[in-house]
Each structure stands twice: as C-alpha cells, then as structure tokens.
Structure 1
Amino acid sequence: MTSASASTPSPVQLPGTDCLIRPQVSLAEFTSYRVGGMAQWYTAPRNWDELQATFEWFSSQDLPLTLLGAGSNLLVSDRGIPGLVVGTRYLRRTHFDPETARITASAGEPIARIAWQAAKRGWRGLEWAVGIPGMVGGAVVMNAGAHNRCVAEYLVSAIVLSPDGTLETLTAQDLNYSYRTSNLQGDKRLVVEATFQLQPGFSRGEVMETTTRNLNQRKSSQPYDRPSCGSVFRNPKPQAAGWLIEQLGLKGYRIGNAEVSMRHANFILNCGNAKADDIFRLIRHVQEKVEDRWAVLLEPEVKMLGEFLA
C-alpha cells in the first residue's frame, strides 16, 4: 500500500530564497467565492528575487501556468487546477511621485488602497476604484472599472514578466483595451507593476468626499454579506445584466447553496458551503433564461478556471 506522503511530492525550495513551491494546495482560501479545489503546485513570491526564481523553476518544468491575484473575479473548479499557480498577493510596493502625480504600484497592491491614498493627497482619478476588491495586476489585465471610469483611462504603462523571464514595458495602447478586457486576458505574462497618471492640486476634502460617496453607493447597492465574485456578467447594451435578470424574477433563485442575490441580480452568492459546480450551473441557468427571453447571451465577467460539471 502506498502512503499519502509517498504519493504526494515534497515542496520545492527555490535556490537562494525562502520561497517554497508547495504541492496540492487548496485554492478556496485564495478566492473571494471561497470555493475551489487544489492547485497541483502553488507559490506566492514575496519579492522580485523570489518571483524570478519561480519563473526560472517553471521554465524547467512541463507545466501549465496560472496567475492568481486577489481571486475576486474568479471561479475555480472543484476539481482544481493542474500545473503551477503563482499568487501575487504579497508583491506589494507603492510609490507616489508628487512632482508628476504618478503612482507606481506592484501587482499585489489592492487597487482600493491606492484609491484612498490618492484621495488623501488631493489627487483625482481613482475615486471610482475605492470599492473594487481586486489588486493592481488583475485590474490592469481586466480593465477594471466602475462609475463609468476604468483603468485604461489612467494607465501610463505596465511592466510584464514573460514565462521565459523577459521583462517588457507596455502602454495602455499596447494592451488594446476594451470593456473589461485587454490583450493580457488569457496570457501567461504577469503584470509586475503598473504606473497611473492622476490629476493633482484638488482639495483633499473634496476628493475624499467623492471617494467616500462612491464607496457608500457600492455598499448600498451590492451585497457584501456573502462570498461572491462581484458582477458575474458583463453588461450588454442597452440594458444592464442585472436588470435583465431581475425582470425574469430570478432574484433569490438557488442551485445548491449558490443564489442569485436579492439585492443585486448580477451577483451570485455562496450562501454557505456552495460548490463551484453549484455556482457554475446557476450561471448557465441564468444565461439560458436571459437568452430565451431577451435573445441576449450574457457574457461572464467572472473568469472560470478548470473543468466544471454542466
């Protein structure tokens, strides 16, 4: 009989660092949905040296690569993810340049924190980002936005790391931004850091007031009491996804422990020990009902990783 320890690979210590690449790590704790299976391999570098060492190890392996930020716009399969999952949550460093009003932030820095820090300086531009739960890296990749504003309007450049270890500086134009997407979506390049251009010289109180109002508006209209991924679907035109879903009476509809939010119909909640498959099936059910009634196929904003049961 084979023991569990014999069948599970040992962690890999990356040379010259304190970084471990660990086998069979649950991803549920790293996603806002609190669901998902195991990563075949997982690591979360804490600095540039560890990040480089991680990519050097990866380049010597025949494995798929998945990049994981805050996990706030993500649905991970109950069956897990093969290959290496690299978490960026510990890559945190921010520089505010008072002469240019530019902010340079590492991939793991929460975008909401940067928005607050900018507001306290009287810099306009990121007031809309205060309620966004993601990190800088993911925000750049998906062109995160709210209140009719988005990353593409303020991004100066992003430094990305390729799996082969090469660095490249890309402008907003290079990223070919459109609604909630860029050409980094589905790409294996990692956003290392990004620089944003803001507008200085405004009253600190004014900017703080706008920022606080935006946050309160999100809190009053969106559910924060249960795990979710934020908005599940991209908004089609001319009607918002939430409006289409609400008109069908789907608020409160459940599959397993996944439920369409009563507060905002474009949110699907984990109401307690939901499975990723519950959420996935509910997403598909909503899509089918909306398409049958409105002839509109709702496109998921949430990114799905792994295999799901229909």
Structure 2
Amino acid sequence: MQTLIKELVEANIGKVKENEPLSQHTTMKIGGPADVLVEPNSIESLQKVMDIVRKHQVTWRAIGRGSNLLVSDEGVEGVVIKIGEGLDELVIDGEEVTVGGGYPLIKLATVISKQGLSGLEFAGGIPGSVGGAVYMNAGAHGSDMSRIVKKAQILFPDGTIQWLTNEQMEFSYRTSVLQTKRPGICIAAVLQMKKGERDAIVAVMQKNKDYRRDTQPWNYPCAGSIFRNPLPNYAGQLIEAAGLKGYAIGGAKISEQHANFIVNTGNAKAREVLDLISYVKQTIYQKYGIHLETEVEIVGRKS
C-alpha cells in the first residue's frame, strides 16, 4: 500500500490521504477510515488514479458528497475516490446543461432555476452530487434524473471513458446500469432542460425545498431515505404504522419527523444503524409480509 500511496502522491493528482476517517466525508457522520482517500483534481488525474489502482490490483470505490451512504465502523479497504472539486465544471448552452459529476446537486438546481430552466425543481433538497444522482437515479416529488439525463460520461475500471445515452443507462427506480451491470464512475452528464417562467420555476423549487425541510430531519446527521419504497406502499408510512418512530439502538434512531430516516443522535456507530435496519425489516415483514430493501448503500469491511 505504501508503494501505491507514493505513486499517487508523485503523480500529482490532487489530495491523497492515508487512513482518512470517512465519518468526515459522509452526511451521516459515521464510518471508519479508508486505507487511502484520493480527491482527483481533474478527469485526467482521475484516469491516472485508476491506472495506478489497476496496476496495484487494489479494490476501489467512488463517493461523492457522502449522502445515501453508510460506511462500516471498520472502514473501507483499498482506495476511496472522492469526486468533487476539479470535476465540477458547468456549461449552460440554451436548454442543454453539461455538468461535472462532482457538482453539488442542490447548487445546480438553484443555478438552473434562476436561469429560467425547468426540469430540476425536484432536486432542490437532495444533498448529493450530480454523479451520485445519476448513479442512483435520484428523485423526489414525482420526478427523477432519468427524466432529464440526455447522456452521461462514464469512466470504467479499465480506464476507458464512454458517453452512455439515457437508454444505455438503463434507469429504473433508484438505480442505473452502473449499479447493476457496468460498474463505473459518472464524471459528467448532459441534462436536457426546458425554458420556462423563471419566477414560477424558482417558486416550485422553493416549495419542494421547504417541504423537505419541514418533513425530513436535516437537523441531524443522516443519509437520506434508508429504504426503497415497496410501491404502491411507502416505507415511511409502513414504519410509522408499525409504531417504530423514535425507536433507537444506541445513538441510531428512527426519526420522529420521518420514519424512513435513521438519524445519528450523537456518536452512533454503523453497527447500531445496521441493527436498527435489521429490526425494522423484521418488524415490517412480520406485520405486513413486506420485504423492505435498503436504498442507502452500505459499504466497507464487515465486522
């Protein structure tokens, strides 16, 4: 690992940190150390990182702003690549928006709405990056990324970069081909917007942001929705109906504001969150015969 770190540093690809606590890089403020955390400062640097990772045959994974992510207390083996500054360019050309994978989604929604472009109003309160949003087909308020992604630029583990069309991305509910068949990193996307009335667009986005603020526990560290909605049912409604709001294991607690959120009330451990997830799954199955699936991505060494 020391040889790999030395090569990464000498390649001048951006920030390289050893044994970096991932609790500092996730919205849930939970997670042990990454063996190595790399923050590439350009697409070319990211390609160099992948070349070095491939050469040393170490495991890797990419993260964005750390939402929708639960990292184990034991941390993550190998290299964690954080997509952020350096991969956050933005070009607006009429109704077409080209944006880097590291660009914050909330910021993009705000900028776009002020330009009088419609299509991203749903994303005003989603605290992830564009790359992460494309990867998981993030959505809210009856819309999602699949409605606006024209194509996505993907870096694959073999070092090749390809543009995948909307159809090739194989979007479905909270997932894409990057999760199911072709692992890769979304480094940019072209979004198709529609011209609209600026004040009306801003008003809709603000209404959505206010709704999220009023109904979701953003005053506590959390990862976003924990479970996928088992449509036509909603996970939060099932958990609330089962009387689990406020149920806690250690520092991990089911939000009293929205039952599909688990919040970190102080110094919660990933193990406590996982135990709480298991308890909820078991309870919902016993009461309703419904299997809940996690939406939050669980990564890292097993304890």
Task: Give TM-score scaled by structure 2 length.
Answer: 0.95
Matches within 5 A, 1:47-86: 47-86=42-81
**Rg bigger for which structure?**
1
In the alignment, which residue of structure 2 is the partner of 1:29? 24
Q: RMSD across aligned C-alpha pairs, in angstroms?
A: 1.6
Residue identity in the other structure for 1:263: Q
1:92 to 88, 93, 101: 88
1:298 to 281, 292, 299: 292
Deviates more, 1:115-124 or 1:262-271: 115-124
Report the identity percentage. 37
**8 Å contact kept, 2:62–2:80:** yes
What is the distance in 2 between the residues matched to 1:179 and 1:160? 20
Residue 10 to residue 60, structure 1, CA distance change in 2 (3 Å): closer
- In the alignment, structure 2 segments of 5+ residues that lack a partner are none
CA deviation after TM superposition for structure 1 residue 183, in Å: 1.2
In the alignment, which residue of structure 1 is the partner of 2:137? 143
CA deviation after TM superposition for structure 1 residue 189, in Å: 1.2
What is the distance in 1 between the residues matched to 2:11 and 2:177? 34
Number of equivalent positions: 300
Deviates more, 1:140-149 or 1:39-48: 39-48
- In the alignment, structure 1 segments of 5+ residues that lack a partner are 1-6
SS of the residue 1:139 aligns to:
helix
**8 Å contact kept, 2:149–2:189:** yes
What is the distance in 2 between the residues matched to 1:293 and 1:219? 30
CA deviation after TM superposition for structure 1 residue 188, in Å: 3.5
CA deviation after TM superposition for structure 1 residue 19, in Å: 2.6
In the alignment, which residue of structure 2 is the partner of 1:4? none
Residue 73 to residue 241, structure 1, CA distance change in 2 (3 Å): same
**8 Å contact kept, 2:221–2:263:** yes
Residue 76 to residue 203, structure 1, CA distance change in 2 (3 Å): same
CA deviation after TM superposition for structure 1 residue 11, in Å: 4.1
CA deviation after TM superposition for structure 1 residue 48, in Å: 2.1
Matches within 5 A, 1:1-310: 11-12=5-6, 13-17=8-12, 19-90=14-85, 91-98=87-94, 101-185=95-179, 187-200=182-195, 202-309=196-303
